[in-house]
Structure 1
Amino acid sequence: MSLERFIPFRKSDVISMCQSLFIKEEQPSFIEFAELFASVIHFEYHKRLEVLKDNYAPFDPNADTQLLKSISDDEKLTCQKTFAQEFASILNAANYEIITDQDLQDALTEESLFKVRLEVAFDDFAEVVFYRRGASTKNETLSTWWGLRKQTISFTNYDRVAVFIRFKDAAHFANKKIKPVGFEPGATIIKLFQNVPKADLEMLFPNSEVRMRPIDKVIIGASAAVGGAVVLVTKLGASIILVAALISYWLGLRNDNVEFNQQHLISLGLGLGLFGSFIFKEWSKFKNRKIKFMKALADNLYFKNLDNNAGVFHTIIDAAEEEDCKEAIIAYSVLLNSKAQLTSEALDSEIENWFEQTYHCPLDFEIADAIAKLERLDLIERDGDYISARTLDDAKARLDARWDNFYQY
């Protein structure tokens, strides 16, 4: 499994980790630098949040406010496209990775960990993108054959999964003669989940439907066949023989006349009633088993769902802001403490080794993004392929000047 870009420590913890790189006399100055840097990044992300909110408002399914003016379909489509692009950019900044189409297809073919088979109508979607962050291999013991057999399996688990889905318009559902339930045609929905096994990604689709697994159909079918045979033999055996003899007489296959009296009719009626009740009972078993699977699906999603729609991009914005801060503060701290000029590759290697050796945390540090942020804020100097960090006092002065000049009214 490839290394993750995600830094699995909180921003405050990362600042404490970097603080330990400085001598005691420099640590207060470094804390001031970190606070200033985080404030500047927070202000910039506040602007990005407003862009997301403004472009999501025309099709927000949970909005409790009114639009000032009506929006045309073309304007709504423009807002959707702008939102999708900016949302994807924010997810990338938060170090989420796109889940490929092959991963989604694997999820549909692999057996679910909670033994439910789902089908998804992909043609209902105009756009589907899944993102994940934090992949790990986990083991789980599953019971089969009514608990008589236990099997330990390994599976890929995603710590976070973000779902972006845009439904097709009303004409599509009208042509299919389907009435959408729980969503509006053309709507865009966003969801965030936690601890999702790769094999169960299909349960995150809003239109997934529970289907019986082959083994469940065999169990129910075998039970119904045996029970039906018993009912036919014990309750309808004599009546079936009598009816068969009567039909044979009518068809000229036998010469002896068959008498069908009132007692025979009552027995036949009771037998058919019992057989009908048996059929109803078996059908109820089938429906109850399906309801049981639907409850298992609902229970699973209840504890995995973290946020929905507008709440998702508020959460992702916060995550992206944290990742940007962590990456840049780490790169600046390690570069400043190296007391020398370094290439990007050398700095990247030094940071990754520091995390692995000191915190037992192997990761794929995103050095390009970190350096780009530090260069944009003029906190490092470049000499060809080599870079060096400005002093803490110089860096704080530049961040303070930027903060003071955000507005010049």
Structure 2
Amino acid sequence: MSGDRFIPFRKKDIIGMCADVLPADTNKEEIVSFCALLVNRIHYEYHQQLESLKDNYAAFDPQRDTRTMFNVSDAQQAQSKNRFAKEFAALLDAANFEKVTDQDLQHALSEESLFKVRLEVTFDDFEEVVFYRRGESQKTETIRSLWGLRKKLVNFTNYDRVAIYITFKDEAYFSKKRKAPLGFTPGSTIIKLFQNVPKADLEMLFPNSEVRMRPIDKVVIGGSAVIGGVVVLVTKLGASIVLLASLLAFWFGWHDQEVEVTKKHLITFGIGMAVFGSFVFKEWTKFKNRKIRFMKALSDNLYFKNLDNNAGVFHTLVDAAEEEDCKEALLAYTFLLNSGEQGATEVQLDRDIEQWFAQQYDCNLDFDVTDALRKLLNMDLVTFSEARYTAKPLDEGMRILDEHWDNLY
């Protein structure tokens, strides 16, 4: 499996790693101060992006608890939605999320769920559906069946983080379908963030997913009902059914022998029907209880996997994107600083960092060197000449970052 762009280490750990990469005579306090200035600059830039996301999302936020000062036209709302979609996609890319392809999504819908629940999703309810994931890994889980007597090891692909962006169709659609939307507002856009989601269970993240019985469940319940029903009919209603059949045959003229119905017959028939009705109710309750257990399994999974919703997702993703940008910039600057005056090409830098992670930390990743170098160039911390990048000295880099803060306002 190819590595992800996501760097699975905390920013604080990366700062310590960078300090260890530099020569022993490097002033550790300087590198720590440089990292602090760099982190604060990136944090300020993402704070502005967060405010822009909140402003554009406010017009169609289904959980908004503030008043609107001005009426927003449909055209203005559409413009805000388009701006938000672009900014949100850029934020997810900065946080090193990868878009889940339609092929992966269809594969997930056709694959059997790990927690043995069959779900059905009505895609016609959505105007737009986009899934993003980060941190792909292979895991193994023990699946139990036959009341725990049978155990089976299942290997599956797991996503550490999954973000979803879903826009519902307008109210006219649901009115035409005579379908009452539950838990969401027609025309609204919802955003959710989940953790530890098996690839095969992506369908459980849809807001309109409904539990359906699997074929094996239908066979178990149906077989039990048929066998039980036959037993009840033979033992409790056998005589009553024969009497009723004879009575109907006499009424329709199929035979001439008169049938005498006594009070005892009526009582026996009534008791038999009551027993049969009780049996039907019991089987129906068994079906409903089984479905409730499946719904509970679904809700339990979602309860522990859900991280954030709607506007709250921005804060989590902005923090994640900020962390990734800081880690990428610090790693690229440190390795270029280590290369001295000769610097390194983009390909060399990318290879050196990826090999260093693989050898030192047994970590396979696809370092986003292009984005890291772009950030460093924008901050004037590196120079580019003849296809090679060179880091400015540490003290000069600190001066450049400090001057940026002095001239910010």
> Aligned equivalents of 2:257 and 2:175: distance in 1?
62
RMSD across aligned C-alpha pairs, in angstroms? 1.1
> Aligned equivalents of 1:210 and 1:290: distance in 2?
7
Whether 2:161 is the aligned partner of 1:135: answer: no
> Aligned equivalents of 2:308 and 2:366: distance in 1?
27
Structure 1 residue 24: Cα displacement: 4.5
Percent identity at matched positions? 61
What does 1:255-334 correspond to in 2, within 5 Å?
255-334=256-335
Q: Which of 346, 353, 356 lines up with 2:355 in the alignment? A: 353
Deviates more, 1:320-329 or 1:60-69: 60-69
- Give the TM-score normalised by structure 2: 0.98
What does 1:158-197 correspond to in 2, within 5 Å?
158-197=159-198
> Aligned equivalents of 1:170 and 1:387: distance in 2?
55
Whether 2:56 is the aligned partner of 1:48: answer: no
SS of 1:179's partner is coil
- Structure 2, unpaired ranges of 5+: none
SS of 1:191's partner is strand
SS of 2:365's partner is coil
Count of aligned pairs between the two proteins: 407
Q: Which of 364, 369, 372 lines up with 1:370 in the alignment? A: 372
Structure 1 residue 251: Cα displacement: 3.8
Match of 1:383 in 2: 385
> Aligned equivalents of 2:11 and 2:106: distance in 1?
36
Match of 1:11 in 2: 11
SS of 2:130's partner is strand
> Aligned equivalents of 2:320 and 2:328: distance in 1?
12
- Give the TM-score normalised by structure 1: 0.98
Structure 1 residue 252: Cα displacement: 3.8
> Aligned equivalents of 2:86 and 2:128: distance in 1?
13
> Aligned equivalents of 2:25 and 2:124: distance in 1?
61
What does 1:240-255 correspond to in 2, within 5 Å?
240-255=241-256
**Post-superposition, which runs of at least 4 consecutive aligned residues in structure 1 deviate over 4 A?**
none
CA deviation digits over 1:260-298, x for unaligned, max 9? Answer: 222111211111111111111111111111111111111
SS of 1:338's partner is helix
2:330 maps to amino acid: I
1:17 maps to amino acid: M
> Aligned equivalents of 1:61 and 1:253: distance in 2?
68
> Aligned equivalents of 1:289 and 1:272: distance in 2?
26
Q: Which of 384, 402, 405 lines up with 1:403 in the alignment? A: 405
What does 1:22-33 correspond to in 2, within 5 Å?
22=22, 23-33=24-34
> Aligned equivalents of 2:129 and 2:242: distance in 1?
60
- Structure 1, unpaired ranges of 5+: none
CA deviation digits over 1:243-271, x for unaligned, max 9? Answer: 22222333444342221222111211111
Match of 1:343 in 2: 345
> Aligned equivalents of 2:13 and 2:68: distance in 1?
42
1:197 maps to amino acid: P
SS of 2:21's partner is coil
> Aligned equivalents of 1:296 and 1:341: distance in 2?
55
What does 1:50-69 correspond to in 2, within 5 Å?
50-69=51-70
> Aligned equivalents of 1:234 and 1:278: distance in 2?
13
